Structure 1
Amino acid sequence: MTADEPTPLGAVIVFEDLSAVKELAAEKRQAEQFQLLTRVIARIADEIKNPLVSINTFMELLEERYEDPDFRHHFSTVVGRDVRRLVQIFEKLAALVSEGQFNFEIVDLRGLVDDCLAGIGARSGAEGGDGARLLHAHDEASGKRVSVSVYHEVGPFPVKADPVQLKKAIAYLVWYLMRKTPGDEARLSVSIDHKAGEETIRLIIASRTAEVGVEELQRIFDPMKVVQESLIDVGPCVSQRIIEALGGKLEARQGRGETSFVTTLPVVPA
């Protein structure tokens, strides 16, 4: 405050009580979190319902039809598939909320990728004309036929990692691309390379048959957004978390009709 004189006569301080605004914002956040939690719980219930229904149905018929060899074979196939699906769902959820224990050792990335592909049922086929190894598999969850072309230079490709966790990270990316492929056949490619003088090894898992929208690709590593749509699609989020814990980096790319995951891991010096 001033009068005719340049010397100030005083000052006025205006206070605004923001308590109500802050309380309203807090209530809004709580409401949004509750809605998110509700959607996540509903999604979990939906994802596990079908496997549990089929398991329960077979268990009810087991005593009555145990002597039927065809039934026992069908029982072991379907129940085994659904149990593995449930285990995968809970493993992914656990990995999202817990760092877990990592047991580091030096492993050959090429051998680890081969073990991972064998673990999902990939079997050797003919050699490709471009030097690739062709593998074939059948995804029991979706019923798709899967062909995988594997490219790599002369190895080895030594990295320091937890082999169990890294195999899970790779498998989740492969499963994601398989299940994003419409129709009965999925085609994937896996390549490993290490250029002389570089400190990282690059692993690329790609597919020209997978259909992933631009918006989906942008949120593919955001678990809070992905889990609202499908627990199956949360796999890349878990893969990124594992790979970053191993000191690496995971990116999702799209171009020329191809969706790919690019993993870089520190190479172990010779």
Structure 2
Amino acid sequence: LLWGYMADRIGRLPVLMIGHMALTVRALLLGISTSFSWMVTTVVLTGICNGGFSIFRTMMSDVSDATNQVKAFRLLSIVYSLGTTLGPLLGGILAHAMDNATPKLGIIRLLQQYPYLLPYAASALSTVSSALLAFYTFRANPSLGVSSHVASNAGINETTPLLASQAKSSRGGLGMRAGEVGFVMSVGGIVRLATQMFAVVWLQHRIGAVGIYRMALFLLSFVLLLLPQLNHLMADTHTITGLAWAILLIARSMYAFASSLGDVSTMLIVRCCICLCEYLLLTLGASCA
């Protein structure tokens, strides 16, 4: 809501730049974090400054209409899905990449002291590149920067990596390595990408946006019941069993499928409500005149 209001007042480009700056700072601070409280504080403070995703959704609404809205919103989710697929894989590969290297250079010693700094630095570089691309895109197309009413909708997907992290089962975790966590997260990205490419349009034509939204809520409720069962399976063992792997991958895939449907259906429902409100305002205004 805050950044939607700010976009109406100062334009979209400054809000996008602030959001990209917040993501860059967050990546670097998380890369050198040494405690859970540091991580949570960093995510909360930088998350408050990041309203970019809602701006992207509004821009997508402005350049689409009723004939191609589903395809437009699906494209936005496809790009997001590519990030959620490649990002965890890259993070799992780069984390602890320098642990066995000879610490002759200061940068190697730094990466050995902070093993997650390298993947987060790669994330920061990606964010800076995206900011530069957004800046030049707005300069080339000034009409994209015209403010309009923006509705903010934010969500954080942090449960799975925390559950599957290196914490032992006695503390509620699964004791997985960084590469294994990255693999689990990437499976969700692949499912999300496949959902956007093959399922969203078909379901939209069959059951509509409201039906898709109800389906997403039902599946998410099932995931919330499924994930806690992993703690019971890991209570008496220090290794991840095949059944635990299966439940984790099924839950992650189901979550990715449901959240992908929920994102598109929410954008479509909000867009329809806005169009309905605009129609009612125009009708009432004409009748009063």
* TM-score, with structure 1 as normaliser: 0.27
Greater percentage in strand: 1
TM-score (norm 2): 0.25
Bigger Cα Rg: 1
Larger RCO (CA under 8 A, 6+ residues apart):
2
